[in-house]
Amino acid sequence: MPVGLHLALVKTYHAQKNRTRPRMAKIGLSPGQPKVLNYLSRHDRCMQKEIAEASDIEPATVSQILDHMEQAGLVRRSAPAERRRAESVCLTEKGREAYEKWKLLCTQIEAESLKGFTGDETERFLDYLGRMYRNLTGKELA
């Protein structure tokens, strides 16, 4: 009996997570931090609520992630004069280095995951996932 889509997605997600997490820990990152690093690498000096929205993470969770990242020296928070109570967040040099290591790890995991796929199959697969995401969230996969 074939596996349904939901179970296939869940099992694949867990397999990918189980492959990624130990390697992620070796570069000093914990769950949730890569999403934040990715966003900050493209949006310097942004607001916490922007990170939460773009990363599909609750604002309170982003706050906790940022606390840990700040303690680890990966990000810096500052309160610009023009936004008195609003903190902006940016990557530190250590954060940029961690992000580069994360990108390399993602490239390796992606190669393992897509072994045996043609370029056309990979492109179609990503299109399907993007369409599913849009159907479920109303947003584009970015």
Mean pLDDT by 10 residues, the chain (142 residues): 88 94 93 94 91 91 95 88 68 96 96 97 96 93 80
Domain ranges across the chain: 5-137
What's the fold here for domain 5-137?
Arc Repressor Mutant, subunit A (1.10.10)
pLDDT for residue 82: 56
Dump pLDDT digits (tens) for 1-28. 678 999 999 999 999 999 999 999 999 9
The side-by-side arrangement of strands in the sheet containing 46-47 is 46-47, 88-91, 75-78
